[in-house]
């Protein structure tokens, strides 16, 4: 496999761990013709990466050895980003630390499920940590406007993303309280995209707007929007100024 890698050239992106999120990002990278490779040390999960066929370069290496990691391209000048997306946090932490020691310039995007994990990953050298709400945004790359999805992806890779994914808590006095998701024209009027709603009454289930459900928004719900930083801030200020 390593000899094949050397023949195919250097990757622009390395994905460590083939989680569900990694599959979504692999699909997006493949659609935009990025050259990337996948590393999944677990043979049972590795077979799913092979079946999905987003890239021909799929390895079962642990990468606990620096030489092994270097051979796979972690130090190559062409490498723009490393995604640490394994379901095992300890693996992500170790790989983040190793990668940062070997390459000071690349973006390292690591999966985190808590504030404590985020702090550890940041200390280890992660450039960006992905929390559950950011995962929601990344999972719908193929469901939102293509130009925006491309900018989101390239923004992460080139450190200049102008887009934010923001959680907004709906208060009792919010002008959005009581409206249905398809009625919230003020969101699109502010150049934002409604990704979905987390309903307080049904726990942590996230209702994607792309599913076409006209969901009633109540106080205590959380809406998740996508847009440019300036537009998001203006929208938040608008909601504060227009409380009932």
Give the least confident one: 12-26, 61-75, 183-197. Answer: 183-197
Strand 222-228 to 81-84 pairing: unpaired
| pLDDT tops 80 at residue 164 | no
Calpha distance 28→25 (Å, rounded): 5
Res 142: pLDDT: 42
Domain ranges of the chain: 2-158, 163-241
**CATH 3.40.50.1820 is right for the domain spanning 2-158:** no
Nearest to 155 by CA among 80, 79, 235, 233: 80
Query: What pTM does this model have?
Result: 0.59
163-241 CATH fold: Alpha-Beta Plaits (3.30.70)
Residue-wise pLDDT for 30-76, tens only, equals: 888 889 999 999 999 999 999 999 998 999 988 988 899 999 999 99
Question: CA–CA separation, 184 vs 66, rounded Å?
Answer: 52
H or E segment and range at residue 195: strand 193-198
What pLDDT does residue 4 have? 37
pLDDT in tens, 78-99: 898 999 999 899 999 999 999 9
Query: Does pLDDT of 133 surpass 80?
Result: no
Report the range of poorest mean pLDDT among 23-37, 38-52, 98-112, 205-219: 205-219
Q: How many helices (H) and strands (E) does the chain have?
A: 10, 10
pLDDT for the residue 153: 57
């Amino acid at each position: 496999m390593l000899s094949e890698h050397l023949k195919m050239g250097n990757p622009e992106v390395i994905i460590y761990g083939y989680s569900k999120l990694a599959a979504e990002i692999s699909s997006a990278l493949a659609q935009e013709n990025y050259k990337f490779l996948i590393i999944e040390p677990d043979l049972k999960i590795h077979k799913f990466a092979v079946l999905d066929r987003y890239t021909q370069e799929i390895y079962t290496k642990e990468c606990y050895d620096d030489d092994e990691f270097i051979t796979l391209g972690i130090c190559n000048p062409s490498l723009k980003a490393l995604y640490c997306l394994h379901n095992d946090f300890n693996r992500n932490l170790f790989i983040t630390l190793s990668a940062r020691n070997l390459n000071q310039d690349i973006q390292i995007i690591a999966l985190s499920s808590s504030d404590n994990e985020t702090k550890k990953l940041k200390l280890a050298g992660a450039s960006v940590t992905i929390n559950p709400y950011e995962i929601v945004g990344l999972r719908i790359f193929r469901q939102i406007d293509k130009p925006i999805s491309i900018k989101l992806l390239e923004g992460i890779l080139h450190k200049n993303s102008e887009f934010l994914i923001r959680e907004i808590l709906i208060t009792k006095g919010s002008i959005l309280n009581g409206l249905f998701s398809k009625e919230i024209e003020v969101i699109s009027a502010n150049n934002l995209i409604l990704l979905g709603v987390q309903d307080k009454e049904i726990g942590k289930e996230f209702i994607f707007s792309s599913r076409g459900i006209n969901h009633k928004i109540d106080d205590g719900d959380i809406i998740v929007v996508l847009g440019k930083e300036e537009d998001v801030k203006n929208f938040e200020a608008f909601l504060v100024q227009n409380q009932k």
